[in-house]
Structure 1
Amino acid sequence: MLLGTVLNPINSSILAVSLVPIGAALGAPPSETAWLVAALYMATAVGQPVTGRLIDLFGPRRLYLAGMALTGVAGLIGMLAPNLGVLILARVLLGFGTCAGYPSAMYLIRSEGERTGRDSPAGVLTALAVSSQVMAVIGPSLGGLLIELGGWRTTLAVNLPLAVAGVVLGMRRLPRTPLPPRAPGERRMSRLDLPGVTLFSAMLISLLLFLMNPASTRWYLPVLSVAAAVCWVVRALRAPEPFLDLRVLAGNVPLLTTYCRALLAYVVGYAALYGYTQWLEEGRGLSAAHAGLLQLPLFATAIVAATYSGRRSEIRGRLVVGAVVQVVACLLLLLLDSHSAIWLLLVVAFAFGIPQGLNGLALQNAVYYQSDRERTASSAGLLRTFTYVGAMITSCLTGLFFAERADTGGLHELALSMLGMAALFLLITVPDRALSGLGGRGA
């Protein structure tokens, strides 16, 4: 479960240090290599809930093994890619291949709890959250080492041994799930609601493409997204077994609120990770190495916060503390200027690390307890979708406020937008009675 879960974050973090050598080797400017990042995010945002729905229908083993095999194929294609177009294709395949790990893990945790009669997932859920944080820390260092040893192609080749290990472990350890019965002449894939998947994908992809580069000349993308959303809603309300059952979701207000919290939290989190780091280099004048070192306390604090709080299963307290500290961290950004002391920069990193660790774990656990039992995997996949939409919104904000360069004025404008989202996160968390007792001993 851990191996499948970390494949996506490790491929995301490794890419951060390989974009420049890839561009130099293939003669591609940053505007083109940016598609390598967007390709993974879009494939994952679309693929997570789709793969999760397939896992809910057919069990985790088949989808996990298929995802691992696709990850290996993507790594091989990327390693041999002759040009940027093929490499982008490899990243799309990699995004879809790494989609199966996290929904499979969430499905298995719940099914094992039902099988054994001991629904005590706190330790495993904490391990899933912490492992992703650890990969985010070591990913850039691992990528730098791989590039130093064998060039940028090794950052794709690393997926080959990981995929082989995943297939071997999956075949040996994952339980076999019997296929659900079907009526005579019925195709098994007919339960997936392919029209619903297509409309959902069109809605999400057109939205993400616009967020990548918002401009008045691209007005047709949000229009297409809204049109696809309307058609998808109509389809979901009429289909006997829709891809995402909006009627069930509409009746599950606590789960919808958790998704809204996830979107807000990850916009702030990604802005702290990418926007703040960009300012450290251009606005504060630090080298890339020093800016990277100043982000290590953020990751370290997030790991400690998630590990320590994971000993307790209660969720509401974690979210409230994370929300309050997130507001404080955004306010601290408004104090920074081009001459800010290093100690203040470290305080900012520590402040953002606390909510990153607490909120990430609490949101994951909330989805586990709030989701419908029959749609655990697809609900978990949808949480990752909101995560990556948050990342794309962050990209849009940093492009807006750092249009020319990441100066202090742009950082303060970014901080104000982050503060608004952090305040909204706090406002919908503190009075939420649905969180009371959630994840406790009787959950």
Structure 2
Amino acid sequence: MTGSLTRVLRRLRPGSAKGSADGFDRRLLAPMMLGSVLNPVNSSIISVSLVPIGAAFGAPPSRTAWLISALYLATSIGQPVVGRLIDLFGPRRLFLAGTALTGAAGVVGMLAPNLGVLIAARVLLGFGTCSGYPAAMYLIRTEARRTGRQSPAGVLTALAVTTQTIAVIGPSLGGLLIGVGGWRATLAVNIPLAAAGLYLGARRLPATPASRRDDGRHPVSDLDLPGMGLFAVALVCLLLFLMNPRGGDWYLLLLTVAAAAGFTWRELRARQPFIDVRVLGGNLPLLATYARTLLAYVVSYAFLYGYTQWTEEGRGLSPSQAGLVQLPLFATAIVVSTLTGRRQAIRSKLLVGAVGQIAACGLLLLLHAHSPLWMLLAVVIVLGVPQGLNNLALQNAVFHQADGERMGSSAGLLRTFGYLGAIIASAAGGTFFGQRADTDGLHHLAAFMLAISTLFLAVTVVDRSLRRLGAPRKDDAPAETEPQHPDR
């Protein structure tokens, strides 16, 4: 697994330690990769912690599901907000602040006396880990401009492979930590990770002092605080409803619509909108990519959490064994991403990924409480193929479709839609499993995933704009298309 990542990094254009005129600054790679994995490691490591945490606090899956939803609720709001701040002020300060908050959340979670405090720690983790990925995408864009290379496929592949590598390590590391120090150790792991991130960020990320605008005003005046607030209100109300759609809280949908309408009205009139809805609304390819991201993540995270819980409660594996069963999933994804990372076509990757998800969901319907180990492994290997293809293709699509001046916030929105999918997956798991993750619940969850996978395939087939992504240019054969800005 680490060998695959090493091979990807070696393919980057050579240069000095500081980079060369035509090569990516390799000093940036370590903080970029570490910052980007803080959220995935906390997403994947919790998958094997839910059962022991539930046992420790006497909480059923429907309550421990909040440990998943809390992190994604905070991150869904924080990613585009922090991404916009990175667009305005550069990545260094936001990266360091977020990493420090991640370490503090690790301390709170490690000492949590009850489930409520543990959920609060996960909220802090969500806000703390939301700066890494937008900062990485911002740095890739600025380095692409500096070097004149519009398609840094090697760096984008390395970023995708890194997040998948940590997803490999997450469940297995979680099982190991639980075996050694209990579930609290899965929160404490954020402390050394944050310390390493602070060191690397302080030493290697470039200082980017905020410059004055042409009219002499400070860039802080460009912050659209009302827009950010309305965006947060709309998202919180929507996600709270999705977490418990059968609770009768339909008023949350009305609040969502009202806040979304207010947000749109504000953004259409703001001088420097938080999210430029005119450009975003005119960029239908980017909106389609966000929709595909939501659908793909519903399936991916429903499998990560639902399948893992079932292997423990429905199949009778220990947390350590459940973590090991997940290894082939992400190992396969890493191999697939490494082998296909430099292939230009994005549409073909998404089509194969959609078909792969449908196949994996079909296999879930064949599992039962006494399924042999080879069947459990076969399912995760099949899902590993779309896992590797979809993540890479969606990330690359945003890089080429988004406005370069808003790369941080656009990358943040990509994660927001992904985490919205994760919350839907978490809510689905809580709904179908109820008090226990049994085989009947797994089959109902698989049918739901199969429907989402089919919709993902349909959205990909009808999107003709994907045919233009990855087409080589006449003046630069290895490169992909320039970013698409329909309204520019």
Give the TM-score normalised by structure 1: 0.91
Given candidates 213, 226, 230, the residue that maps to 1:195 is 226
Residue 341 (structure 1) shift: 4.8
What is the CA distance between 1:166 and its match in structure 2? 1.7
Identify the match of residue 446 of structure 2 among 415, 421, 440.
415
Alpha-carbon distance in 1 for matches of 2:267, 2:227? 7
Letter in 2 for 1:9: P
The answer to whether 1:234 aligns with 2:265 is: yes
Give 1:115's aligned residue. Answer: 146
Q: How many percent identity over aligned positions?
A: 67
Of stretches 404-413 and 374-383 in structure 1, the one that deviates more from structure 2 is: 404-413
CA distance in 1, matches of 2:180, 2:312: 27
Per-residue displacement from partner, 1:30-83 (whole Å, max 9, x unpaired)?
A: 455443332211111110010001111111112112212222232333344455
Which residue of structure 2 aligns with residue 383 of structure 1? 414
CA distance in 2, matches of 1:150, 1:408: 30
Corresponding residue of 2:174: 143
Partner deviation per Cα, 1:97-121 (whole Å, 9 max, x = no partner) = 1111100000000100101112332
Counterpart amino acid of 1:112? E
1:90 is aligned to 121
- Give the aligned partner of residue 244 of structure 1: 275
* Equivalence for 1:78: 109
Task: For residues 92-145 of structure 1, give each alpha carbon's deviation from its aligned partner in whole angstroms, at most 9, with x where no partner exists.
Answer: 222111111100000000100101112332111112111112212212332344
Could you tell me which residue of structure 2 aligns to residue 220 of structure 1?
Answer: 251
1:29 to 59, 67, 71: 59
Query: For residue 368 of structure 1, what is the amino acid of its counterpart?
Result: F
The answer as to whether partners of 2:87 and 2:407 remain within 8 angstroms in 1 is: yes
Bigger Cα displacement from structure 2, 417-426 vs 333-342: 333-342
Conservation of the 8 A alpha-carbon contact between 1:57 and 1:180: no
**Deviation larger for 134-143 or 113-122:** 134-143
**Hey, what's the Cα distance between the residues in 1 that align with 2:182 and 2:314?**
31
Q: Relative to structure 1, is the Cα distance of residues 88 and 420 closer, same or farther in structure 2, using a 3 angstrom cutoff?
A: closer
Matched, 1:57 2:122: no
- How far does residue 292 in structure 1 lie from its aligned partner after superposition? 3.9
In structure 2, give the amino acid aligned to 1:43: A
Match of 1:371 among 381, 398, 402: 402
Aligned mate of 2:354, from 323, 329, 336: 323
Per the alignment, in what secondary structure is the counterpart of residue 248 of structure 2? helix
Q: How far off its partner does 1:348 sit?
A: 2.1
Query: 1:75·1:160 contact (CA, 8 Å) conserved in 2?
Result: yes
Deviations 1:249-304 (A, max 9, x none): 11101100001111111111112222233444455555555544433222221121
Alignment counterpart, residue 460 of structure 2, candidates 429, 432, 437: 429
Q: Check if 1:2 corresponds to 2:33.
A: yes
Higher deviation after alignment, 122-131 or 356-365: 122-131
**Equivalent position of 1:401 in the other structure:** 432
Q: Which residue of structure 1 lines up, in the alignment, with residue 18 of structure 2? A: none
Letter paired with 2:338: T
Query: Mean Cα displacement is larger for which, 269-278 or 76-85?
Result: 76-85
CA–CA separation in structure 1 for the residues paired with 2:176 and 2:356: 35
C-alpha displacement of 1:363: 0.4
Equivalent pairs, count: 442
Give 1:208's match in structure 2, choosing from 239, 246, 268: 239
Secondary structure class of the residue paired with 1:217 = coil
Q: Which amino acid aligns with 1:69?
A: A
| CA 1:282–1:133: 2 relative to 1, 3 Å | same
Partner residue, 1:346? 377
Indicate how the Cα distance of structure 1 residues 407 and 162 shifts in structure 2: closer, same or farther if over 3 A, else same: closer
CA drift at 1:161: 2.6
CA distance in structure 1 between the partners assigned to 2:308 and 2:184 by the alignment: 26
Whole-angstrom distance in 2 between the partners of 1:276 and 1:17: 10
Q: Specify the alignment match of 1:355 in structure 2.
A: 386
Amino acid at match of 1:229: A
How far apart, in 1, do the equivalents of 2:182 and 2:376 lie?
33
SS of the residue 1:92 aligns to? helix
Q: Which moved more, 1:216-225 or 1:369-378?
A: 216-225
In structure 2, the gaps of 5 or more residues are 1-31, 473-478, 482-488
Q: What residue in structure 1 maps to residue 198 of structure 2? A: 167
Single out whichever of 44-53 and 238-247 deviates more from structure 2.
Answer: 238-247
Distance of 2:366 and 2:63 partners within structure 1: 35
Task: Check whether the contact 2:48–2:323 (CA below 8 A) recurs between aligned residues.
Answer: no
Change (3 A) 1:71 1:197: same
Match of 1:274 in 2: 305
Question: Which sits farther off after the overlay, 156-165 or 386-395?
Answer: 156-165
| 1: CA distance, partners of 2:91 / 2:34 | 14
Describe the superposition over 1:141-190 as per-residue Cα deviations: whole angstroms up to 9, x where unpaired. 32344445445444333323322222222222212224132477956433
Task: Describe the SS at the equivalent of 2:67.
Answer: helix
CA distance in 2, matches of 1:407, 1:288: 16
Q: How far apart, CA to CA, are the structure 1 residues paired with 2:40 and 2:339?
A: 22
- 1:69 corresponding residue in structure 2: 100
Say which structure is richer in helix: 1
Unmatched 5+ stretches in structure 1: none
Matching residue of 1:130: 161
CA distance in 1, matches of 2:352, 2:431: 30
Quick one: structure 1 residues 272 and 310, their matched pair in 2 at CA, closer, same or farther if it must change by over 3 Å?
A: same
Amino acid of the residue matched to residue 163 of structure 1? A
What code does the residue aligned with 1:346 have? Answer: L
Please report the RMSD computed on the Cα atoms of aligned residues, expressed in angstroms.
Answer: 2.5
Alignment partner of 2:212: what SS?
coil
Any conservation in 2 of the 1:211–1:395 contact (CA below 8 Å)?
no
Determine if contact 1:318/1:359 at 8 Å carries over to the other structure: yes
